[in-house]
Chains A and B, each alone.
Chain A
Amino acid sequence: METLSQSKRRVVPFTTLDIVLMAMLATANAVLTFYLSYINKMLNSLGGPVATSTIVGVYMVYGLLAYYIIRKPGTAAITYGIGGAIQCFVGNTYGIAASIVAALCYLVVAEAVFFLLRYKRWNAGAMMLVGGAMVPIWFICAANMFGYTSWSFQVLAITMVVRIVSGIVLCGLLTKVLGDMLQRSGLLKRFAIGRKASADAGNFH
């Protein structure tokens, strides 16, 4: 993980505070995944994997949110790394192997896109771009792991589109909204997001 961040132009070291924040977000994600599996179950019986695809974006929010708050190269690598690893100890219906592979797919894409954006764009468009871009690779892996490959091409295509839309809206846009909400409450003064916008930060308490 270190090499990833070192290869970037500026090496900004992660503080303990950054790491604890990432851990907290990964934890929140684990809890969320656990409880979402009930919603997932419901969706699954209503419309099968196409219906469950509508919420895949939510599973990716934590890493992107960490990036949005911390804004240092390598954030996604560590956050998704932690998130994937703790799935080894927190139950979900997809199993450990899938969780790890998913985390790897997300982290590679997120790091690549933010690298291309030179860590300078943090607007809604950029976040939605990353949210949507994280979907396809994992979908290809998932199709193989879960045997979606036996479906017809149309179904696969529809599922893919649904997932990408979910990634754009429920990951990209949601992250932006959540991050801005937190930033406005003044809770994140010590992170990059808080410093950048500290001018218009409302006072907390």
Chain B
Amino acid sequence: MQGTSIELTELSYWYEDVEEPALRGVSLTIPAGQFTAVIGPGGSGKSTLCQLLSGYLPRSGGGRREGKVRLDTIDPAEAPIAEIAKVAGIVFQDPDAQLVRGVVEDEAAFGPENLRVPPAEIDSRVAEALAAVNLTARRRSPVRELSGGQRQRTAIAAVLSLSPRMIVFDDASASLDPAAQAQFVQLCRRLHAEGRTVVTVSGRFDDAARAAERVIVLDGGAVLLDGAPQELLRTSRDRLAQLGVLPPWEGAAEAGGPAGSRREVPEAGEHAAEPAAGPLQSAGMLTAPAQMPPGADGPGGDSGSGPLLEVRNLSYTYPGGQEALRDVSFAMHPGAWGMLTGENGSGKTTLTRLLMGLLPVPSRSVYWKGRDVSGMPVHQLAGDIGYVFQQPEHQFVEHTVWDELVYGLRIRSGWRRRQAELTPEQTEAAEALLAAAGLSGRRQDSPYLLSQGEKKLLSVIGQLIQPKALYILDEPTSGIDYRAAQRLLKLCRGAAARGAALLMITHDPRLVEEDASFVLRLDQGKVEDYRQLGRNHGLIHVRS
């Protein structure tokens, strides 16, 4: 086994047509067989680093690279493809951008096939890789019929089957459910024990980082800290908390302080953005459906007015025959804050897509303000309900960040009446939101050129900018650092303070549960748990 696995010397990188480098003078040596975690806030250059390691940058992605990169003995920008594929396997951040074959099993077989592995061995590698991510049952499924988390698992399996000496996971556990995240850490440990070089990348000081031998903290494209995880936690806890990579229950991520990210903006705008998120809703606005549908063990209590949203015995089966939901019932009142949890593939996204009318809703199962939404056009519901997709790209409709943000404001009626000019208040609110998301400097950029976390933030503020009665957010906090998550939650609290209801899908219940008024947990399409949460009374244990 060679001595070093990754060696970077004064590595800088500039994206095409961008003046500021995304990486500036990074020098690192990672010995073979080490288990390293690279962490850093959103936009700090983690994914850029991964793409440089894979050779995708600058080979296919363009841009300018300076400095030296060595993987084992090769330079990924110049080495033949076969060499790179044998040395390094890289799981990229966005599963949709790396799945190429369309069927789970073919996806996992693709790499070894290219490397001329004999069929019998491919077969066993595929079986092993799929088992490692718990996807064996979906072996023949088309990728487009998988849930977000299942796609991410597929992407992991597709690289595992390559059996590379060095493996890099770029935020590969962001959309996994808590059990799968634990399993992912086990997987990293096992790969490490096999003698492979393992690098995990994430915006948070997560369990993988705690399990690693070494943690490298990136900020603004440069290495900020480098050391053993326990040591860093002991000596630099404040720094880490300031960056927002520590969870609020450990390091007061709210501490704020001088901004870490280079595109940080003055905090001033942030306050203008939100009406003071004062005491949460008055008791009268709280949850509790008027009539509980039979069979649902819902939160008790009663309030006079009818529910905003009511779901009665909703079942849904996809055209291919995959049953996604069965007999789901719950209700939401104005000002309620629901937390929707459950394993990958348990039907959370399906449920919210149905609520939004993005899938054909069976009649007499979903009621919006007492009206059956079945057959109601989406744009009509959109007047009342804001919806944030799990994949932010699915939401983008414009060519610049600014246009993307104010798109909804410009629409008055009909198809894109562009004439609607923004009022000064609207412009101000938009500026403030942009600042709160840390995107002020990016308004003329294409939304597609943002980092994954920045995309997510943009997609959320694009909805929050419009006053709605209900916001549905599909995993708004996945893949972003804790500070960004806190800001986002603050914006949500602002919306809640205005009286809006929120339904939030999440795999990070601990981040949200203090604000949530009820939790709905799905298990294989059925309601497993549905109960009211006490406000601000500390942590509630949610099974993981």
Contacts and interface: CB of A to CB of B under 8 A. Distances in A.
A203 B462 CA distance: 25
A203 B17 contact: yes
A104 B206 CA distance: 57
Interface in A1-52: 17
A205 B62 contact: no
- The 3 residue pairs across chains A and B that have the minimum distance between CB atoms: A205-B446, A205-B399, A205-B445
B60 interface: yes
Contacts of B446: 204-205
Contacts of B62: 189-190
Given A205-B446, A205-B449, A17 B400 contact: no
A154 to B, nearest CB: 48
Nearest to B81: A16
Contacts of A17: 60
Contacts of B17: 203
Given A190-B60, A203-B17, 8 more contacts: A17-B60, A189-B62, A190-B62, A204-B446, A205-B399, A205-B400, A205-B445, A205-B449
A204 B30 CA distance: 38
Interface string A187-205: 0011000000000000111
6 contacts: A189-B62, A190-B60, A190-B62, A204-B446, A205-B446, A205-B449
Interface string A80-119: 0000000000000000000000000000000000000000
Contacts of B399: 205
Interface string B365-409: 000000000000000000000000000000000011000000000
Contacts of A190: 60, 62
B78 to A, nearest CB: 15
Nearest to A17: B60
Q: Is the interface of A mostly helix, strand, loop or mixed?
A: loop
A17 B446 CA distance: 22
Nearest to B446: A205
Interface in A151-205: 189-190, 203-205
Contacts of B449: 205
Nearest to B449: A205
Nearest to A205: B446
A147 B196 CA distance: 66
B60 to A, nearest CB: 7
Nearest to B445: A205
Contacts of B400: 205
A41 to B, nearest CB: 26
Contacts of B60: 17, 190
Contacts of A204: 446
A204 B445 CA distance: 10
A205 B400 CA distance: 7
A205 B403 CA distance: 12
Interface in B34-64: 60, 62
Nearest to B444: A205
Interface string B1-37: 0000000000000000100000000000000000000
A28 to B, nearest CB: 17
Nearest to A20: B100
Interface in B480-514: none
A17 B61 CA distance: 11
Nearest to A15: B60
B76 to A, nearest CB: 16
Contacts of B445: 205
A205 B399 CA distance: 6
B315 to A, nearest CB: 33
A204 B62 CA distance: 15
A129 to B, nearest CB: 34
A105 B87 CA distance: 44
A201 to B, nearest CB: 12
Q: Which of A190, A203, A205 has the most CB of B within 10 A?
A: A205
B225 to A, nearest CB: 34
A205 B448 CA distance: 10
A129 B449 CA distance: 40
Contacts of A205: 399-400, 445-446, 449
Contacts of A203: 17
Contacts of A189: 62
A189 B60 CA distance: 11
A203 B449 CA distance: 14
Nearest to A189: B62
Interface in B435-449: 445-446, 449
A189 B61 CA distance: 11
A205 B446 CA distance: 6
B127 to A, nearest CB: 28
Interface string B441-472: 00001100100000000000000000000000
A188 to B, nearest CB: 13
A17 B100 CA distance: 13
A192 to B, nearest CB: 16
A154 B526 CA distance: 70
Interface in B56-83: 60, 62
Nearest to B17: A203
